[in-house]
Structure 1
Amino acid sequence: MQIGLFHQMWATPNIEDREFFAQTIADVQLAETLGFESCSFGEHYFIRERPFYGRLPVPEVFIARLAGETTRIKLGTAIKILTLESPLRFAESVSLLDLLTDGRVMFGLGHGSPADMEHTGFSQEEKHQIFRQQLLEVLDYLSPQQQGSQITPVPRQGLGKLFWLGVRDRETIVLAAKLGLNLLVGQGEGASAQNTYSDIYRQAGGTGALRGFRLV
């Protein structure tokens, strides 16, 4: 069994940003020493009036730093809010980080929480539609068959296998299955809810990996 860590990048308001990120780097280095398989990082926006709030708006930048501070542990996004991204720019980030980490990066992708998306004005269905469209565009840019606008660095074959979809609507789960992508379930969900999503995925022909998150 492979066990990884999911770091929501939450901190209390009294902790300075520099201190928080230095401590998180130390946490990841310790996790590598202890033999954990991976560490994935949440993406959040805006300082919020609450006991804890997320400190990491661009996880790819932090992962690039961590790649030089570690040697073995896999580093991932959980969840990268794809609906806020340019498909071209994100595809470039995927190819570049795969290169810089020697293949140790993975990408959990999702629609975004209501708190992170409230400033966009998108409805729930709009978020889902935009996500599916953005996902297909990213995969197109990463395809070796892409003609006329090859991104740099040149993506290696099969980068879509690094994608884990943390989604809950049936249409997107079915799309993940058809595209051969992996599925994330969990965090605040019980086993019965997780089984509902994994069943949809498998029944749609999904052959990728399933990863469950648990709060500890």
Structure 2
Amino acid sequence: MTQTLELGLDTFGDVTTGPDGAPLPQARVIRDVVAEAVLADQLGVDFFGVGEHHRVDFAVSSPEIVLAAIAGQTSRIKLGSAVTVLSSDDPIRVFQRFSTLDAVSNGRAEVILGRGSFTESFPLFGFELSQYDQLFEEKLDLFAALIRQPSVTWRGAFRPPLVDQAVFPQTESAPLKTWIGVGGSPESVVRAARYDLPLMLAIIGGDPKRFAPYVDLYHRAFGELGRPARPIGVHSPGYVADTDEQAREELWPDYKRMRDRIGAERGWPPMGRAEFEAEADHGSLYVGSPETVAHKIATTVQALGVQRFQMKYSAGSLPHDKLMRCIALYGERVIPRVRELVG
């Protein structure tokens, strides 16, 4: 590979259960996420991502604040969102929050921008869902200007124009690393290339190799623009336990409840055990022993030629102690084995 492979972890701050089986308060879940990130840093995980949601089953609505708390207790791990819903936010405020995170973390901040697969932020912040695409395109255009220029002159349809406007704080040593999160839209892939930004593929179902055409499209788009391609990453769900059987049995009940809850909102049928097993065997669910998960990650990395893999280790109400064990196995055994396999 031409670049060093980075291996990270993502969480949406899924609301977990306590010893009595009842959901924990969201405040407790947020504190647990900080502890999980601190462990990941201690174990040499390269990146820790925190997602943004505005609903009862996920605790984190302000990833950058949680990440700032993590920055104060860690020293080396890169910290970013997974993802930031730019369409329903203000690009200037997003830039300021993450450039501030970059300052307090001594240059470790990143942001992954996306349109979001959940849409509750649109009515919450007063945006029209019918303008889903136009909002993202325009706000990304402004954000791309902010990360490259000390002052910006810009005009759009959804906010007043800017004339030679400086935005503070600026990042100290390098532009804020900004990824575009893509769930499977060719237009989004080309857009990332057009803005000269790294691509993060959200592969949450089916054979990961089906995303190979998007990787090819990304490289072709850069070729047509006459520029070298930026890094590509993959975000997928997973869970690690001591054995394959233990991992599947521990994950299955909570994964099904989470999937069925979201599926009911979107008109999907309930998830059966056969579908779960198929995703674990041949799809984009990285569940099993450290050896099994390492082999599956290495296969995806080599098949798609990506430079980063981020495993979403939280799933539904899986308790904090099991998540900590998963992180420990990922850092201590999965990451070294993947590096051996990839070479």
Asked if TM exceeds 0.5, the reply is yes
Give 2:92's aligned residue: 88
CA contact (8 A) 2:144 2:195 kept: no
Compare relative contact order (CA 8 Å, sep 6+) and give the higher one, 1 or 2: 2
Deviates further, 9-18 or 36-45: 9-18
Correspondence 1:110 to 2:125: no
CA contact (8 A) 1:143 1:157 kept: no
Matching residue's letter, 1:91: F
Q: Secondary structure at the match of 1:44?
A: coil
CA distance in 2, matches of 1:198, 1:89: 31
- Structure 1 residue aligned with 2:220, among 171, 183, 203? 203
- TM-score after normalising by structure 2: 0.56
1:54-203 counterparts in 2 under 5 A?
54-117=58-121, 119=123, 120-123=127-130, 126-144=131-149, 146=151, 148-156=164-172, 158-160=174-176, 162-167=177-182, 168-189=184-205, 190-203=207-220
Give 2:37's aligned residue: 28
CA contact (8 A) 1:108 1:164 kept: yes
CA distance in 1, matches of 2:95, 2:33: 26
CA contact (8 A) 1:128 1:172 kept: no
Q: Secondary structure at the match of 1:23?
A: helix
The alpha carbon displacement at 1:180 in A equals 1.6
Deviates further, 89-98 or 102-111: 89-98
CA contact (8 A) 2:102 2:109 kept: yes
The alpha carbon displacement at 1:151 in A equals 1.1
CA distance in 2, matches of 1:100, 1:81: 22
Give 2:13's aligned residue: 9
Matching residue's letter, 1:96: T
CA distance in 2, matches of 1:59, 1:129: 24
Q: Secondary structure at the match of 1:11?
A: coil
Larger Rg: 2
Deviates further, 98-107 or 184-193: 184-193
The alpha carbon displacement at 1:117 in A equals 4.8
- TM-score after normalising by structure 1: 0.87
Q: Secondary structure at the match of 1:181?
A: coil
Runs of 4+ with >6 A deviation: none
Q: Secondary structure at the match of 1:215?
A: strand
Instruction: Give the 3 Å change call, closer, same or farther, for CA 193–127 of structure 1 in structure 2.
Output: farther
Matching residue's letter, 2:115: H
Identity of aligned residues (%): 25
**Cα RMSD, aligned residues only:** 2.0
Deviates further, 27-36 or 111-120: 111-120
CA distance in 1, matches of 2:198, 2:43: 26
Q: Secondary structure at the match of 1:159?
A: coil
CA distance in 1, matches of 2:92, 2:99: 11
CA contact (8 A) 1:9 1:56 kept: yes
The alpha carbon displacement at 1:46 in A equals 2.2
